Amino acid sequence: MATIETNNITLSQSWGASFGEYSIGGTTVDFQDLMVRIAENRAVAVEGEVAPLSTRIQNRNKELDILGSLLAIFTRAQANFKSDASGTDTTYISGITPDMVELGCEAYRRQGGTPSTDMSFWNDNWQKRSVEGMLKSIKSMIDSRNNESQKDMTRLQSLVDRRDESYSTATTLMNAISDTRSNLIRNL
């Protein structure tokens, strides 16, 4: 962002007035143009915050999709157990893909286990208590990411509002400057 410098300049003696000029990046501008540039720079700065936040939201949404798939897989596995099954009874888990493993490992660690990234670990027989633990962990992860998403969406809305306000301010200033100059010319 350019540095703003003030240069006091005196008009000719016949006019008997003085005014301040401003320099932005070596270019001399008057006060009105300075205000427009500031409003435009504010909008650009806010826009720079929107892009990374949008990327973070998209990545989190992908994680939520994967967690939803994992939840469905482990819910189906839980349904395979008889109602009187003990915690050590097993069922076969299938359908876990390589893109699910990282989040699956995170869920497994949350329940105190030491996961493997080997696909045979994931698509194999699982005990009822492990399936139930995975379900609790996955639901907790989904809740956590949904809370983060809500915060990010609120922040994104705030940034978009600030950006719109900045562009509106710049437009209002430009219109006011144009009207003032038109009135001055008409009155001369």
pLDDT score, position 3: 52
At 100 the three-state DSSP class reads helix
Neighbours of 12 (CB within 10 A): 7
Q: Read off the pLDDT of residues 94-147 as tens digits, 9 standing for 90 and up.
A: 999 999 999 999 999 998 889 999 999 999 999 999 999 999 999 999 999 999
pLDDT score, position 9: 42
Q: Read off the pLDDT of residues 48-68 as tens digits, 9 standing for 90 and up.
A: 888 899 999 999 999 999 999
pLDDT score, position 28: 75
Burial of 137 (0-12, 13-18, 19+ CB in 10 A): buried
Q: Read off the pLDDT of residues 73-83 as tens digits, 9 standing for 90 and up.
A: 999 999 999 98
Tokens of 108: 């497994």
pLDDT > 50? residue 15 = no
Q: Is residue 94 within 8 Å of residue 131, measured between CB atoms?
A: no
Q: Which residue has the higher pLDDT, 179 or 23?
A: 179
Q: Which residues of 33-43 are buried (b: 16+ CB within 10 A; e: fewer)?
A: bbbbbbbbbbb
